[in-house]
Amino acid sequence: MNSSKRRTRSGAAGFLFFPVKGLVWFARGSDCGRIGPSISLVPSDCEVRAYDAPLMRKRNGMATSAKGIMDRLRHETAELHRQAESRPLQKHLGAGTLARETYAAWMSQLLLVHDTLERLLDEQVRRASHPGFAQAWQSLVRHSGNLRSDLTHFGLDPHSVEALDATAALLDDLRHWGERGDVALLGALYVLEGSMNGNRFIRKALERAYAAPDGAGLSYLDPYGDNQRATWQAFRERMDVVGFDENECEAILAGANRMFRGIGEISDEQFEAMPV
């Protein structure tokens, strides 16, 4: 796909993510299966919370929702998680029936996504574009390092990976947010970091399938070992104490939404190119 076509897709996504409020409800309502009443001019869940004085906090004079962003992400993307788990590639991963070559090719696309997001997050911390970037991003593993060594194990050169169309479109959107210093990047981070919770189980299946009891080539799937839960909990707490205002919460949810969709599209394109 050429870059102008990709730019058009990015533009369309941006329109859905950052329009006037009513359209935000529509876009998110349809993705989360909440259609109908959510497109009326009745206040959204966010606004109901924002008007609930006892539940409200203030940061820089802006209302912030009392329910933490991490609970909102968990609940408002639950359906997207269910869909992500049920893609054919994910099902074969979980069952340990994905060919090694397909697994390695899939990892190479994830390398592009992680590497791009990591660079953009580092840049936001350097530019101090929002305090949430330093707060949330600190002390997490750079998964691109594990991916590079896993790819080398599978005989692929991590420096010569070509992006699938779906990957290229997702990277365009990430870079677009990077240029704007948009906290949507933190929603994207939530999805990739959260996926490590399930990746531990996938690793067990692949250790058996690829006869790799020592986990050779599978380091990406279990970066924290027994510290997985604690690392995830600490990330949740760091995100929650930032105190994102309502617009920022919407942007983070849009970022998570886009990452879930992007990962699903990449899975499908990869699986179509190289089925089991």
Q: Which is nearer to ligand HEM, 82 or 159 (CB)?
A: 82
Which among 4-12, 21-29, 190-198, 213-221 is the span making contact with ligand HEM, rule CB under 6 A? 190-198
Q: How far is the CB of 250 from ligand HEM (least distance, A)?
A: 17
Q: How far apart are CA 72 and CA 65, in angstroms?
A: 10
Strands, E, within 13-74: which ranges?
Answer: 57-59, 62-64
Q: How far is the CB of 37 from ligand HEM (least distance, A)?
A: 25
The strand pairing partners of 86, in sequence order, are none
Question: How far is CA 138 from its chain centroid?
Answer: 17
Q: How far is the CB of 39 from ligand HEM (least distance, A)?
A: 26
The strand pairing partners of 42, in sequence order, are none
Q: How far is CA 162 from CA 59, 127, 156, 232, in A?
A: 43, 29, 12, 31
Q: Counting contacts by CB under 6 A, is residue 194 touching ligand HEM?
A: yes
Q: How far apart are CA 1 and CA 176, in angstroms?
A: 18
Q: Which is nearer to ligand HEM, 74 or 153 (CB)?
A: 74
Question: For ligand HEM, what does the binding mask look like between residues 253 and 272, x meaning CB under 6 A?
Answer: -------x--x---------
Q: Counting contacts by CB under 6 A, is residue 198 touching ligand HEM?
A: yes
Interface contacts to ligand HEM, rule CB under 6 A: 73-74, 81, 84-85, 90, 93-94, 190-191, 194-195, 197-198, 201-202, 260, 263
